[in-house]
């Protein structure tokens, strides 16, 4: 399977419909449920996302507060990866990093991206008590003290740390406008634009209370290399802001257009893992 077409294959199949008119497009819903055929790890023991059941999460007093130091971050570009929109950062040092929490070392910020639904009733990857949110932000970090490159870290069981932030519909998020206003530049798969001077600290909620567990990337190759930090408190964006995400396309300019939405993987089995909470329920 082509990594770029993991949600669906927008290229028409060779077969045509009975009246030999337009070719049948592959069903976008065939994405995640088919991944195990090309990536057996999809059925591994620490796959993400999961459904977080707060009542079953274990409060762990040894978990420290999460420390986010993004003051010196340098955003470089915004791009349409073919399965999300991504903002990348300079990651040559630990200036923009997270620390504290369950971590011994700081983890440096590499990129952030989003997952969202076609409607408000779904979109997030993690769910809480079975309830999805319309959108989820993932801030991806790697351990630059222990590993030489992001690729090396992404292959190691303790190499990555991803902060998940739920988005719900409410009043407009003023800091999000700079981002949603830039989406038109990366409408098509494979497009990229310069995007400097954006600090994602503005996308974090006031409370950094979190759940944490050992998991994986949620898109192929699904490496089981992620310590997840899922923030309890969501942020709010307006309906209009979320609609701008839905104007993005899974497809390149020359392909038949397929709206980018429902680019989330459903929750995976916990398989005996414990979800720890930094706060008392």
- Residues with catalytic roles: 83
CA-CA-CA-CA dihedral for 39, 43, 45, 48, to nearest 10? 80
Identify the residue whose tokens are 């700079």. 178
Query: Residue 5 half-sphere exposure, CB side, CA atoms within 13 Å?
Result: 17
**29, 102, 24, 38: which is closest to 263 by C-alpha?**
29
Query: Which residues, listed in sequence order, are joined to residue 167 by a DSSP beta bridge?
Result: 135, 235
Q: How far is CA 20 from the centre of its chain?
A: 39
The Cα-based distances of 183 to 38, 115, 166 in angstroms read 31, 14, 20
Residue 48 and residue 161: Cα distance in Å, rounded? Answer: 13
Residue 101 and residue 208: Cα distance in Å, rounded? Answer: 10
**DSSP for residue 143:** -
């Amino acid at each position: 399977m082509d990594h770029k077409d993991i949600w669906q294959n927008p290229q028409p199949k060779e077969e045509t419909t009975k009246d030999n008119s337009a070719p049948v497009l592959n069903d976008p819903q065939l994405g995640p449920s088919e991944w195990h055929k090309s990536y057996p790890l999809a059925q591994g023991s620490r796959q993400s996302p999961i459904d977080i059941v707060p009542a079953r999460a274990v409060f762990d007093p040894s978990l420290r507060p999460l420390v986010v130091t993004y003051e010196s971050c340098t955003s470089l570009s915004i791009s349409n990866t073919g399965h999300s929109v991504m903002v990348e950062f300079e990651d040559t040092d630990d200036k923009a990093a997270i620390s504290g929490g369950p971590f011994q070392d700081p983890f440096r910020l590499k990129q952030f991206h989003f997952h969202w639904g076609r409607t408000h009733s779904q979109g997030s990857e993690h769910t809480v008590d079975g309830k999805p949110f319309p959108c989820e932000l993932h801030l991806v970090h790697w351990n630059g003290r222990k590993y030489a490159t992001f690729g090396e870290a992404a292959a190691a069981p303790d190499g990555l740390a991803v902060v998940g932030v739920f988005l719900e519909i409410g009043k407009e998020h003023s800091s999000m406008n700079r981002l949603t206003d830039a989406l038109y530049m990366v409408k098509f798969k494979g497009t990229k634009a310069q995007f400097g001077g954006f600090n994602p600290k503005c996308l974090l909620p006031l409370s950094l209370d979190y759940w944490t567990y050992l998991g994986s990337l949620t898109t192929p190759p699904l490496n089981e290399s992620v310590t997840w930090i899922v923030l309890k408190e969501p942020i709010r964006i307006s309906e209009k802001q979320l609609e701008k995400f839905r104007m993005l396309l899974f497809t390149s300019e020359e392909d038949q257009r397929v709206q980018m939405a429902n680019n989330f993987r459903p929750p995976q089995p916990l398989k005996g893992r414990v979800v720890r909470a930094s706060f008392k329920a």
